[in-house]
């Protein structure tokens, strides 16, 4: 049920999985918006700009209340997968919003509104905003770890995300940190739009570098402010703090590999003590098997322990789910990490997971 794709050290995957097997996690989903999402053809999340403005709010409202989702040209939101597991295994969910174009109608923790500008500007956020979000993320990491300790000793956080256009900002972060990820990033699109992303990334990084005469700019926090998105810096703060007292499963593919790389960079830059062996990245097999990408190669570069859930919808009677097998959607809203958690905590099989998702889908269509 769980594929081992890359490790920080020999046996790291088995140690993490064995340590947290049977433990009930806490699911945390960080919802953010970048105006990069409004660039035509950048994402498959929503058929129009107007749709993309509401994707994160719709996914969040659906997770907690089962309300309607934004329709996709192929497939259905991965929030259906996540909700089926949260409901089926009674896993608590904490939503965190850093500011969205459309308001949430369900309980959530609201951070100061920070909507990122398009990455090609090289000024997505101010450094003050990035520092503030990082500090709040670190505080939240401590609070969530304490909350988890009261619920179940020696357990872990599953940290998911919902950021339309987030694989593009992830590529910018990884490139800015010195990793070679051209043609390796996965995407919600069936075939990755690598040329468009790389063009935007080059523009954003070039504009950022024009400000390197200011010491704070030429730093990891300056990089996030220039070409990142708010989710990345909040999730990084949460993971760094939480790793000191519990496990962390960064639930995603390309985007969470970028978060892991920021954990390493910011821990070094700001001399933050953390426990990297406590942090793993977990995604779906659709991301791992994406022929237009190579996220395993990225995981090896950044030195992350990288897992994939062996979920399959090939036998599903629903075309929305079979679309995942054709390369659409692939991941999001913590779906891959939640499937890993479903196996670790509830020992759910592939069949049980598929039937749970299908039951949830029937309520959504």
Task: Give me the chain's average pLDDT, please.
Answer: 95
Checking if the pLDDT of 153 tops 90, the result is no
> What is the tens place of the pLDDT at every residue in 259-315?
999 999 999 999 999 999 999 999 999 999 999 999 999 999 999 999 999 999 999
Boundaries of every domain in the chain = 2-362
**Whose CA is closest to 108, among 156, 146, 56, 158?**
56
Checking if the pLDDT of 46 tops 80, the result is no
Which residues, other chains included, contact 356 with Cβ-Cβ below 8 Å and sequence gap of 6+? 84, 85, 88, 348
> What is the tens place of the pLDDT at every residue in 187-201?
887 777 888 999 999
The predicted model scores a pTM of 0.97
The C-alpha atoms of residue 20 and residue 201 are separated, in whole angstroms, by: 37
The CATH number for 2-362, chosen from 3.40.50.720, 3.40.50.10210, 3.40.50.1110, 3.30.379.10, is: 3.40.50.10210
Per-residue burial over 302-319, b if 16 or more Cβ lie within 10 Å, else e, is bebbbbbbbbbbeebebe
Which of the four pLDDT bands, split at 50, 70 and 90, describes residue 341? very high
> What is the tens place of the pLDDT at every residue in 170-228?
999 999 999 999 999 998 877 778 889 999 999 999 999 998 887 778 899 999 999 99
């Amino acid at each position: 049920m769980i594929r081992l794709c890359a490790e920080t050290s020999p046996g790291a995957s088995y140690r993490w999985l064995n340590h947290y097997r049977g433990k009930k996690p806490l699911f945390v989903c960080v919802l953010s918006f970048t105006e990069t999402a409004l660039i035509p053809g950048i994402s498959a999340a929503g058929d129009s700009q107007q749709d993309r403005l509401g994707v994160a709010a719709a996914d969040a409202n659906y997770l907690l209340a089962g309300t309607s989702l934004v329709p996709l040209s192929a497939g259905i939101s991965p929030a259906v997968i996540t909700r089926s597991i949260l409901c089926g295994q009674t896993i608590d969910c904490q939503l965190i919003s850093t500011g969205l174009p459309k308001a949430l109608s369900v309980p959530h923790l609201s951070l100061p509104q920070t909507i990122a500008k398009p990455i090609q500007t090289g000024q997505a956020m101010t450094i003050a905003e990035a520092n503030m979000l990082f500090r709040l993320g670190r505080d939240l990491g401590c609070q969530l770890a304490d909350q988890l300790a009261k619920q179940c000793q020696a357990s872990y956080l599953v940290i998911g995300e919902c950021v339309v256009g987030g694989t593009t900002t992830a590529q910018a972060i990884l490139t800015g940190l010195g990793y070679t990820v051209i043609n390796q990033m996965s995407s919600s699109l069936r075939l990755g739009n690598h040329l468009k992303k790389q063009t935007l990334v080059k523009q954003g990084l070039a504009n950022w570098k024009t400000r390197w005469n200011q010491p704070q700019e030429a730093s990891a926090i300056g990089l996030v402010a220039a070409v990142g998105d708010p989710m990345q810096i909040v999730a990084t703060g949460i993971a760094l703090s939480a790793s000191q007292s519990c496990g962390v499963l960064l639930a995603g593919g390309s985007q969470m590999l970028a978060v892991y790389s920021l954990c390493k960079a910011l821990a070094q830059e700001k001399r933050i003590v953390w426990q990297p062996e406590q942090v793993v990245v977990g995604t779906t097999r659709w991301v791992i098997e994406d022929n237009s990408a190579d996220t395993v190669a990225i995981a090896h570069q950044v030195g992350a322990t990288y897992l994939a859930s062996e979920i399959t919808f090939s036998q599903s009677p629903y075309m929305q789910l079979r679309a995942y097998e054709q390369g659409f959607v692939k991941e999001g809203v913590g779906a891959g990490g939640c499937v890993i958690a479903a196996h670790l905590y509830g020992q759910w099989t592939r069949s049980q997971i598929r039937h749970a998702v299908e039951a949830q889908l029937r309520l959504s269509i």
